[in-house]
């Protein structure tokens, strides 16, 4: 059997929340960077969005969407900005060794966007 790495894939597409799995694309960039070990800083280029390391489980995203709707209703002005402020920093730092991200077995790097602003634009800063 041959395996194929997909650069990114849709982790979820809900009415007010979308997430792209960009783990494989980051791994590819790290391998070509020539760096052996360090920290990878992954940041979204577009707002309102953020990067998170978590398990890719559909029920989780549905629960987050419901929770955010309860905390900040859809009709609130500048809801996306408030959601991003509530969820913390937009950038995620992930250690890597031998050109491979140090993630748990089920962990993935996700680019999360709100209100249908799902774009696959992100930056990678490698230190190490």
pTM summary value: 0.82
Tell me how far apart the terminal alpha carbons of the chain are, to the nearest angstrom.
Answer: 35
Q: Is residue 3 part of a domain?
A: no
Q: Is residue 1 part of a domain?
A: no
Domain that holds residue 88: 9-127
pLDDT of residue 66: 87
Q: Is residue 2 part of a domain?
A: no
Q: Is residue 49 part of a domain?
A: yes
Q: Is residue 4 part of a domain?
A: no
**CATH label of the domain that carries residue 90:** 2.60.120.460
Nearest to 41, CA basis, from 109, 107, 87, 106: 109
| Residues 14-47: tens digit of each pLDDT | 777 888 899 999 999 999 988 889 999 999 987 7
| Residues 53-77: tens digit of each pLDDT | 998 887 888 888 888 888 888 888 8
pLDDT of residue 104: 93
């Amino acid at each position: 059997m041959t395996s194929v790495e997909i650069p990114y894939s849709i982790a979820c597409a809900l009415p007010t929340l979308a997430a792209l799995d960009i783990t494989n694309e980051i791994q590819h960039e790290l391998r070509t960077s020539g760096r052996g070990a360090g920290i990878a800083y992954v940041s979204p280029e577009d707002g309102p969005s953020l990067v998170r390391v978590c398990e890719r489980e559909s029920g989780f995203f549905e629960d987050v969407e419901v929770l955010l709707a309860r905390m900040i209703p859809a009709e609130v002005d500048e809801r996306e900005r408030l959601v991003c402020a509530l969820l913390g920093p937009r950038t995620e730092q992930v250690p890597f060794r031998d050109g491979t991200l140090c993630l748990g077995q089920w962990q993935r790097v996700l680019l999360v966007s709100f209100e249908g602003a799902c774009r696959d634009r992100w930056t990678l800063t490698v230190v190490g």
